[in-house]
Structure 1
Amino acid sequence: MTSPMDVLLSRASTDRLKDPAPAGAQLEQILATALRAPDHGRLQPWRYVIVQGAARAILAEKVVASTLRVAPQTPQFNLDKRRQRMATMPMTIVLGMHLRPEHKIPLWEQEMSVGAGAMNILNALYAEGFGGIWVSGPITEDPVLAAEFGFEAPHRLAGFLFVGTPDAPLPAPSRPDSAGFMAMWDGTPAVFAQDRNNAQ
């Protein structure tokens, strides 16, 4: 039996996805894991727009239009590739951030809560036998695109989760040794082995 820790340590992202994607109560439960993310001030900034079926073609055209707004010189080949990708994913979850800039909780904490929620979704997908990947890029900064999903300023996009069933076994994730990213503090500035390695 796979332990929860094994799931967390073996999860890997993939965009090689096919049907089915989660649905019904299973999808609701997966999304419920996002609502367990840290939420300072209980502001509940997480918002998820589910795109499936015929709506995928609409999504693809809106993403291409957004790409042309933020990067007008994008080659046609790249536009066609992006259109095809967005139109054929089994499911796309649009990650929205319902932000309250006037609140005493700083925006960066609200945004990090959305990020933590997205990570919970990816972990839950993997635990349930599905796959996914979080994609973003300059279009997430496009207020026109955000508004088309219902996120008018000050609310924003955090990216997109592609969701489905992996069409091939996931490769064993290659991760660095965690020891390089931790340090025991003794009152002086921490020094990390990973930073020394990068400097060489």
Structure 2
Amino acid sequence: MDALDLLLNRRSIAKLSSPAPEGKVLENIIQAGLRAPDHAGLTPWRFVIAQGDGLNKLSEILVKAALADNSEQSVIDKVKGAPFRAPMVITVIAKVTEHDKVPAFEQHLSAGCAVQAMQMAAVAQGFQGFWRSGHWMFHPDVHQAFGLQGDDQIVGFLYLGTPGCTPMKVPQRDLSRFVEYL
């Protein structure tokens, strides 16, 4: 797949099934994440891969957080099943290093770039994925379960697997609504 075509036609696919990326393909996905912009070479990323029993562990982490919030049963049921929407979920964490020239915000953005690069690497190799965020990535119980400290932040959950459908066509957008010149 041509790189420009990949970027111009990127779409998330939420219907994912087995197999998940593995071996060299998974290594390429991680390596792509490690190529994200990295001011001062701080390498502000951490990737926690859940598959197989790891999906059960991720489910338990999310359920514990939902219970701590006294969530309704429907919310608990939803978070319990969330990790099983794909055969692999990579929790991407901005591992922040205190630095006078590189604020935590910039390190969070770098980790976000890593997620995008990883998703693109998956698609380029015939897999698909979607990036989820939301309330749980900010929850203190989830942070504790992943060992976050200080300004560390989960920037997303990257679900990966084999596409279960054809992506919808990318909507064309009027550039004049988004672009200005000084």
TM-score where L is the length of structure 2: 0.92
Whichever residue aligns with residue 177 of structure 1, its letter is: D
- The match for 2:154 among 154, 157, 170 is 157
Matched, 1:172 2:169: yes
Whichever residue aligns with residue 51 of structure 1, its letter is: A
Q: Using the TM superposition, give the Cα deviation of residue 47 of structure 1 relative to its aligned residue in structure 2, in angstroms.
A: 0.8
Q: Using the TM superposition, give the Cα deviation of residue 178 of structure 1 relative to its aligned residue in structure 2, in angstroms.
A: 2.7
Hey, what does 1:188 align to over in structure 2? Answer: none
1:9-28 to 2 correspondences below 5 Å? 9-28=8-27
1:39-118 to 2 correspondences below 5 Å? 39-69=38-68, 71-72=69-70, 74-118=71-115
Aligned residue pairs total 182
Contact kept? 1:59, 1:87, Cα under 8 Å: no
Contact kept? 2:16, 2:164, Cα under 8 Å: yes
Hey, what does 2:145 align to over in structure 1? Answer: 148
Q: Using the TM superposition, give the Cα deviation of residue 88 of structure 1 relative to its aligned residue in structure 2, in angstroms.
A: 4.9
Contact kept? 2:64, 2:141, Cα under 8 Å: no
Aligned Cα root-mean-square deviation (Å):
1.6
Q: Using the TM superposition, give the Cα deviation of residue 9 of structure 1 relative to its aligned residue in structure 2, in angstroms.
A: 1.0
C-alpha offsets along residues 103-141 of structure 1, whole Å, 9 cap, x if unaligned?
431111111111111111111111111111111112211
Sequence identity percentage: 34
Which secondary structure state, in structure 2, belongs to the residue aligned with residue 126 of structure 1? helix
Q: Using the TM superposition, give the Cα deviation of residue 143 of structure 1 relative to its aligned residue in structure 2, in angstroms.
A: 2.8
Cα distance in 1 for partners of 2:135, 2:15 equals 23
Whichever residue aligns with residue 33 of structure 1, its letter is: A
- The match for 1:122 among 111, 119, 122 is 119
Cα distance in 2 for partners of 1:91, 1:10 equals 23
> Compared with structure 1, are the counterparts of its residues 67 and 136 closer, same or farther at alpha carbon in structure 2 (3 Å cutoff)?
farther
Contact kept? 1:14, 1:170, Cα under 8 Å: yes
Q: Which has the larger radius of gyration?
A: 1
Contact kept? 1:131, 1:164, Cα under 8 Å: yes
Cα distance in 2 for partners of 1:182, 1:106 equals 27
> Compared with structure 1, are the counterparts of its residues 102 and 42 closer, same or farther at alpha carbon in structure 2 (3 Å cutoff)?
closer
Which runs of 5 or more residues in structure 1 are unaligned?
186-200
Hey, what does 1:7 align to over in structure 2? Answer: 6
Which runs of 5 or more residues in structure 2 are unaligned?
none
Hey, what does 2:179 align to over in structure 1? Answer: 182
Which secondary structure state, in structure 2, belongs to the residue aligned with residue 48 of structure 1? strand
